[in-house]
A and B are shown apart, each in its own frame.
Chain A
Amino acid sequence: MAYHSFLLEPISCHAWNKDRTQIALCPNNHEVHIYRKDGAKWSKIHELKEHNGQVTGIDWAPESNRLVTCGTDRNAYVWTLKGNIWKPTLVILRINRAARCVKWSPKENKFAVGSGSRLISICYFEQENDWWVCKHIKKPIRSTVLSLDWHPNNVLLAAGSCDFKCRIFSAYIKEVEERPSPTPWGSKMPFGELMFESSSSCGWVHSICFSASGARVAWVSHDSTLCLADANKKMAVASLCTETLPLLAVTFITENSLVAAGHDCYPMLFTYEEGQGVLTFGGKLDVPKQSSQRGLTARERFQNLDKKASSDTANATLDTLHKNSIRHISVLAGGKANCSQFCTTGMDGGMSIWDVKVRHPHCLCPPRLR
């Protein structure tokens, strides 16, 4: 694994280009900075300045190479590279609260924006007017939409909200696509149709993710739980109460395994056993540094007693790679079906790349880190 400290401030969000040579991130302000990998170092090559509020979401379309960003200024911009300059196009979202997350659809002809306006804006390009327009999905969302993920069929969209629920909607736009064929989530998919809604967990849903096939959706909530709904089992939900602090990001790395991370500052593995419909914790995926075992001086002991009411010699600093909460995970290689590499960014301003090694592809052993 490799860790790079980009900033002293949190990385609000990030997105990678198709060949993983460039990363776009928001350095906790109104801008988006793009860095390019130059051997072992990272060089900043672009600064995108258009938003009037913090940039809360970035997504980079791999095929068309367009960026979409959204922010607390209630706007979204689609950015196109012209020569060596990124040119923004404003997209009117028609929302009166901050935008919180944005995702391109798999075919890159639409993108979805979740916001504090308690709705999802589905945006698509209207050829005749040379202009991005949007439609709203409102019912029955009751609070801020924190996370979104598209089903591979380009129509279904999973949304995690502060009203404690995970929902799957149809975001079918007849202007840009054919009618979708039936899926295990249902056959009739008019725009805005609610295909699935979880019963309430007790926490804001921070992150949500479809499996590669789209038959499963997983989400993490602020009550330190991880849940998974399986469309092939009549949408039965398996849930796991974790022993950790709340998780903020989750992704599938195979059809049966997930990686999640959050306020404990390290990624961890979970596996789903289809037969029993059970989620289990598969271990921590971070190798702790060897803490130095030197003794404390009398002065240090006294300082510890004064500051922490403890003369404990244990290392008070985190022995994880990230020194603060991990907010986002992205799959770098292998896709969500067979991920061999993923990336985490967090509040410590750092970005880490993790290699996954599948030990025995033919047995049910969970993958682990190299």
Chain B
Amino acid sequence: PLPRTGDALRAFHTALRSSPVNSKSQALKEQAQGTMLKVLTSFKSSDIEQAVNSLDRNGVDLLMKYIYKGFEKPTENSSAILLQWHEKALAVGGLGSIVRVLTARKTV
């Protein structure tokens, strides 16, 4: 069953905050990617926009990195929901946020 909106939002912020962006451990990063994907796919479509608007500029950039990571390793229905996240994140972060996914030295 889908979690309540409040829980999903909290899980979302926690996952972003504890992102191992500075770590060199591939295992740690993969674990974080898995967690983030679970959180993103657990959202109701109608709640995505609110979640994106609750982020600052760095948060949007980080989210965009996870969205593209999610595209890299698609699961059963992940791409569909990730595309919805992408649309909302793009509206806030602009093409610049995608450019920074491509140029980032510290990956997620």
Q: How far is the CB of B49 from chain A (nearest CB, A)?
A: 17
Residues in B neighbouring A202, C-beta threshold 8 A = 100, 103-105
> Shortest Cβ distance from B66 into chain A, in angstroms?
17
B57 within 8 A of A: yes
Query: Across the two chains, which residue of chain B brings its CB closest to A221?
Result: B103
B100 touches A243 (CB 8 A): no
Chain B facing A: main interface SS: helix
A243→B61 CA distance, assembly (Å): 10
Q: Does A241 contact B (CB under 8 A)?
A: yes
The interface-forming segment of B29-37, B72-80, B89-97 is B89-97
A 231-265 to B, binary, CB cutoff 8 A, 1 in contact else 0: 00000000001111110000000000000000010
Complex CA gap A11/B69 in Å reads 38
Chain A residues, CB < 8 A from B104: 202, 223
Whether B99 and A224, one on each chain, are in contact in the complex, defined by CB atoms closer than 8 angstroms, is yes
Give the tally of cross-chain contacts (CB within 8 A): 39
Chain A residues in 8 Å Cβ range of B57: 241
A53 CB-CB contact with B under 8 Å:
no
**Most chain B beta carbons < 10 A, residue from A203, A222, A243, A244:** A243
Instruction: Closest A residue to B91 by CB, please name it.
Output: A243
Closest to A222 in B: B103
B95 near A241 with CB under 8 A, answer: no
Note all chain B residues with C-beta closer than 8 A to A264: 95
Tell me, in angstroms, the Cα distance from A264 to B95 when the chains sit together: 10
CB distance from A3 to the nearest CB of B (A): 24
> Closest CB-CB distance, B92 to chain A, in whole Å?
8
Give A325 Cβ to nearest chain B Cβ, in Å.
13
**Contact across chains for B105 and A242 when beta carbons are under 8 A apart:** no
Assembly CA distance A223 to B93 (angstroms): 13
Q: Mark A265-300, 1 if CB is under 8 A from B, else 0.
A: 000000000000000000000000000000000000
Q: Is the pair B105, A224 in contact by a Cβ cutoff of 8 Å?
A: no
A246 and chain B: residue at smallest CB distance: B99
A200 interfacial contact with B, CB 8 Å:
yes
Verify A245–B105 contact, CB threshold 8 A.
no
Judge whether A243 and B96 touch: CB under 8 Å. Answer: yes
Q: Provide the bound-state CA to CA distance between A200 and B105, in Å.
A: 10
Minimum C-beta distance from A296 to chain B (A): 25
Cβ of B103 and Cβ of A244 under 8 Å apart? no
Contact present for B100 and A223 (CB under 8 Å): yes
- Find out whether the CB atom of A242 lies under 8 angstroms from the CB atom of B103: no
A244 nearest in chain B by CB position = B96
Task: Tell me, in angstroms, the Cα distance from A246 to B96 when the chains sit together.
Answer: 7
Contact A243 B95 (CB under 8 A): yes
Complex: how many Å from CA A224 to CA B102?
11
State the CA gap A200–B61 with chains docked (Å): 17
Q: Tell me, rounded to whole Å, the shortest Cβ–Cβ distance linking B107 to chain A.
A: 11
Cβ < 8 Å to B, chain A residues 108-125: none
| CB 8 Å contact bits of A94-137 with B (1 = contact, 0 = none) | 00000000000000000000000000000000000000000000
Check B105–A241 contact: CB distance below 8 A. no
In the complex, what's the smallest C-beta–C-beta distance from B105 to chain A, in angstroms?
5
Q: Are A243 and B93 in contact (CB under 8 A)?
A: yes
Chain A residues positioned under 8 Å from B94 (CB to CB): 242-244
In the complex, which residues of chain B have a beta carbon less than 8 angstroms from the beta carbon of A225?
100
Whole-angstrom CA separation of A323 from B94 in the bound complex: 20
B residues 30-76 touching A (CB-CB < 8 Å) = 57-58, 61
Known contacts A223-B104, A243-B94; 8 further A-B pairs (Cβ under 8 A): A202-B100, A202-B104, A203-B103, A225-B100, A241-B61, A241-B96, A242-B94, A243-B95
Q: What are some 25 contacts across the A-B interface (CB < 8 A)?
A: A200-B105, A202-B100, A202-B103, A202-B105, A223-B99, A223-B103, A224-B95, A224-B96, A224-B99, A224-B100, A224-B103, A225-B100, A241-B97, A242-B94, A242-B96, A243-B94, A243-B96, A243-B97, A244-B94, A244-B95, A244-B96, A245-B95, A245-B96, A245-B99, A246-B99
A-B pairs, top 4 by smallest CB distance, nearest first, are A243-B94, A224-B96, A223-B103, A224-B99
